[in-house]
Amino acid sequence: MHVAAIPAFDDNYIWAIQPYTGADAIIVDPGEAEPVRDWLRGHDVGIMAFFITHHHWDHTNGLIDLLKDHRVPVYGPKGGHIQGVSHPLDHLDRFSVAGDDREYTVFSTPGHTLDHICFYTPGHAFVGDTLFSAGCGRMFEGTPEQFHKSLQCLAELPDSTNVYCAHEYTAANLEFALAAEPENQEIQQYSEQVKALREHGLKTLPSTIGLEKQINPFLRATTVDHFARLRQWKDQF
């Protein structure tokens, strides 16, 4: 399995999943159409399916345009509120995409939005805006109880699981993580690594579940109250 990051907007990543090198791709959260088209042309491949994690425009705006040229399945949240979704999904649904032998499991992860879902296949989790490296999404629609439960669901995945977040927020998130846990040596060390990567224009993703358990205050929050205090503090940080 090969996963490539397609940069979009200022800090989004549209993920392209290929079962093997040269295969058509599954496109995750196509907020923009043109970066996807450029990537497809550069790799001389097509699209086998789309995965949508939630309804926000920067994850969906390119979908309908791309569907004009690629009549393929679109897997996304149930509810009928996202135009183009042909295969609505719920918590713990399992499915496979034609052309890809892997099975994907869906996790409902409300918090950032109520409709947010994540896509998991052994070794890889596509988490949209639920989990960021050293952070999590803003709580636009969910409750602290929902968001904390969603993060704990992801924390139960194997430590070796690659985590594909939808934004390059790692450096800013680590500044907050250092304020929240100033004695955490793992955060201190990782902050230096991330600074070096970003100075050279390199991405910090994917992360792993194991790493996030060490450096992410939100994933490390043991109670709902702790999580809620962190999220409120981060909103004002």
Catalytic residue, from 24, 29, 115, 129: name it: 129
Q: Which of 116, 124, 148, 167 is catalytic?
A: 167
Rg (CA), the chain: 17
Active-site residue among 24, 29, 55, 58?
58
**Residue 59, marked binder:** yes
Residue 58 appears among annotated catalytic residues: yes
Q: Which two tokens stand for residue 195?
A: 């600074």
Q: Is 59 a catalytic residue?
A: yes
Task: Indicate which residue of 55, 56, 124, 148 is catalytic.
Answer: 56
**Do the annotations mark residue 58 as ligand-binding?**
yes
Any binding-site annotation on 54? yes
Instruction: Kindly list the distances between the CA atom of residue 175 and the CA atoms of 42, 93, 142, 216, 221, in Å, as whole numbers in the listed order.
Output: 36, 36, 25, 11, 17
Q: Is 38 annotated as a binding residue?
A: no
The CA-based angle 24-28-34, given to 5 degrees, is 75
235 labeled part of a ligand binding site: no
Q: What are phi and psi of 157, to 5 degrees?
A: -70, 160
Active-site residue, from 112, 116, 124, 148: 112
Buried b (16+ CB within 10 A) or exposed e, 117-131: bbbbbeebbbbbbbb
Say whether 112 counts as a known binding-site residue: yes
Task: Supply 2's token pair.
Answer: 């090969």
Q: How far is CA 177 from CA 11, 32, 74, 234, in A?
A: 20, 30, 36, 9
Residue 2 is among the residues annotated as catalytic for this protein: no
* Annotation says 87 is catalytic: no
**Catalytic residue (one of 55, 59, 116, 148):** 59
**56: annotated binding-site residue?**
yes
Q: Which amino acids are annotated as binding site for Zn(2+), given as ranges? A: 54, 56, 58-59, 112, 129, 167
What residues act catalytically?
54, 56, 58-59, 112, 129, 167
Q: Which amino acids are annotated as binding site, given as ranges? A: 54, 56, 58-59, 112, 129, 167
